[in-house]
């Protein structure tokens, strides 16, 4: 199954009683494995989690910590834009040149990279003197 198909499929499971906005994310790792996630909302709104965060958690739970490819899909008017927190989460596990395919359910796409999504990202090297 393609990364896009995996993201499209997991999106159907999104738990979104508050926003009604379903998001699906799929990430590939160097082993070729694909990990998926959907957004999971909560009555205490800030406790909700994004699709990207879910996919990253599934990857780490499976014992992997490197992302080589990302795809996100939503029923949005323009390709769904990951929130700032998810850009930082992706940057933790992906090199700057990792491709990110942002899509809509009706086929629009924005191809970008993890580095372009978060220029000047804070990373662990900045704590070297600590």
- The residue among 31 and 42 lying less far from ligand THU, judged by its C-beta, is 42
Q: Which is catalytic among the residues 12, 41, 47, 52? A: 52
Q: Of the candidates 3, 58, 71, 86, which one interacts with ligand THU according to CB under 6 A?
A: 86
- Phi and psi (nearest 5°) for 91? -65, -25
Q: Of residues 1, 2, 21, 108, which one binds ligand THU by CB under 6 A?
A: 21
List the one residue from 10, 27, 59, 72 that touches ligand THU (CB under 6 A). Answer: 72
**Residue 50 binds ligand THU (CB under 6 A):** yes
64 as an active site residue: the answer is no
């Amino acid at each position: 199954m393609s990364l896009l198909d995996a993201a499209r499929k997991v999106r159907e499971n999104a738990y979104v009683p508050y926003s009604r906005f379903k998001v699906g994310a799929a990430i590939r790792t160097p082993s070729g494995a694909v990990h998926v996630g959907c957004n999971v909302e909560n009555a205490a709104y800030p406790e909700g989690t994004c699709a990207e965060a879910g996919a990253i958690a599934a990857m780490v739970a499976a014992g992997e910590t490197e992302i080589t490819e990302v795809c996100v899909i939503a029923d949005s008017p323009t390709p769904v834009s990951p929130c700032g927190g998810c850009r930082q989460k992706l940057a933790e596990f992906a090199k700057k040149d990792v491709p990110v395919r942002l899509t809509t359910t009706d086929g629009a796409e924005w191809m970008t990279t993890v580095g372009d999504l978060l220029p000047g990202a804070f990373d662990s090297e900045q704590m070297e003197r600590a």
